[in-house]
Amino acid sequence: MAETLNQEKLLSDEDIRRLVVARLKVLSPDTIISFGSDGSFSRDELVEKVQQKDEIGEKMAEIQMEWLRSFNEELV
Amino acid sequence: MKIIVTLPHYDPATQYISNWAKNVVDFAINRGIDVINLVGDKANRKDFEGRVDKVKPRIVFLNGYGDDDCVLGQDNLILVKKGDNHTVLQGKITYALACSSGAELGPEVAKNNDSAYIGYDDEFCFAGNSKYLSHPIDDPRAKPFMESSNQIMCSLLKGNNCQEACEKSRKIFKEYINRLSSSAADPDSLQDAQLLWWDMKHQVCLGNKRSSIKD
């Protein structure tokens, strides 16, 4: 069972964080992303938050995973 | 037909959503609908409850921050909270452009089938360009998020029911997601597509989905 789960989890949490940081770093410097009452953050602040694994950083990783899962779903 | 709109503005995010919500206000006025705006400090619990009680609006459009069990007004103060004053929304169609209130507040409001609640059961995220902080209505990066959201209200005001309004909103979300995700060379577009996908997946339509202004 544990082996099956490992096979299903193709990306580790650290892989996902690296992917999110790489994507964030190429955004235009004027980017701001709002996360409701948690605040609005610049590109560089978001990179830090993902690296620090804080709540907003983990949310960015969750959004990334949701996006990757979207490829299994019909968009139109 | 009357609607109440809350328009708090005290930081970048509330400036963005309230400014873009004004497009909905203009749309409603042009259709001859009576709009009661609670702007800035007026977006507080006392004024909100008083106006809802007096005006008895068919639609309530809440803009602001939120949490699982509440929606906030001006200065992070609670406007509507589950188990406290959520009954103020009963018998109405509510659209909350607020984070997470579709998780607990929405289901509580929509428990009785005389109400409908459209909102988001997790964060509503959006991207923008910091150069537009003083005039967010002109920010092209915010446009896909705000137009997809505003579609809910415009559809309701045209007489569509709640389910139809959500479907039309999802259509706009998908059009933008497809357009932005095909711009593979532009990292901003791909990031924005991801955020739009998130928002669309977390939009919820609760209660009587067939409610409309025609009822």
Show the domain range for B171.
2-207
- Rounded to whole angstroms, the Cα distance separating B21 from A12 reads 40
Least confident range from A10-14, B43-47, B211-215: namely A10-14
The β-bridge relationship of strands B116-120 and B70-72 is: unpaired
Mean pLDDT of B102-116: 95
pLDDT at position A12, please?
Answer: 83
In chain B, what residues touch A32 (CB-CB under 8 Å)? 12, 127-130, 133
Residue A3 pLDDT greater than 80, yes or no:
no
Output the CA–CA distances (angstroms, integers) from residue B53 to A29, B4, B59, in the order listed: 47, 11, 13
Burial of B2 (0-12, 13-18, 19+ CB in 10 A): middle
In chain B, what residues touch A24 (CB-CB under 8 Å)? 191
Does any domain span residue B170? yes
Say yes or no: B127 contacts chain A, CB-CB below 8 A.
yes
pLDDT at position A76, please?
Answer: 44
Instruction: Please report, for chain A, the start and end positions of each structural domain, with discontinuous segments joined by +.
Output: 11-70
ipTM (interface pTM): 0.94
Does any domain span residue B110? yes
CATH number of the domain bearing residue B105 = 3.40.50
Of all residues in chain B, the percent with pLDDT exceeding 90 is 95
Q: How many domains does chain B have?
A: 1
Mean pLDDT of B38-60: 98
pLDDT at position B35, please?
Answer: 98
pLDDT at position A4, please?
Answer: 42
Output the CA–CA distances (angstroms, integers) from residue B68 to A37, B102, B104, B131, B170, in the order listed: 12, 7, 5, 32, 22
Of B98, B127, B190, the CB nearest to A33: B127
Q: Which of residues 59-88 of B touch A (CB under 8 A)?
A: 65-67, 72, 76
Contact by Cβ (8 Å): B76, B9: no
The Cα of A7 is separated from the nearest Cα of chain B by a number of Å equal to 25
Candidates A28, A32, A33, A47: best to mutate against B (most CBs of B within 10 A) is A32
- Rounded to whole angstroms, the Cα distance separating B203 from B123 reads 10
The Cα of A15 is separated from the nearest Cα of chain B by a number of Å equal to 18
The mean pLDDT of chain B is 96
pLDDT at position A8, please?
Answer: 54
* B63 to chain A: closest CA residue: A36
Residue A2 pLDDT greater than 50, yes or no:
no
Of A36, A39, A63, the CB nearest to B198: A63
pLDDT digits (tens, 9 = 90+) for A24-75: 999 999 999 999 888 999 999 999 999 999 999 999 999 988 898 887 775 5
The Cα of B1 is separated from the nearest Cα of chain A by a number of Å equal to 31
Q: Name the residue among B6, B7, B8, B9 with its Cα closest to residue B133.
A: B9
Model confidence at B44, in pLDDT bands (50, 70, 90)? very high
Say yes or no: A65 contacts chain B, CB-CB below 8 A.
no
Does any domain span residue B215? no
pLDDT digits (tens, 9 = 90+) for B110-131: 998 899 999 999 999 999 999 9
Say yes or no: A34 contacts chain B, CB-CB below 8 A.
yes
Of B99, B130, B177, the CB nearest to A32: B130
Of A30, A37, A70, the CB nearest to B130: A30
pLDDT at position A74, please?
Answer: 58
Does any domain span residue B72? yes
* A26 to chain B: closest CA residue: B187
Mean pLDDT of B160-179: 97
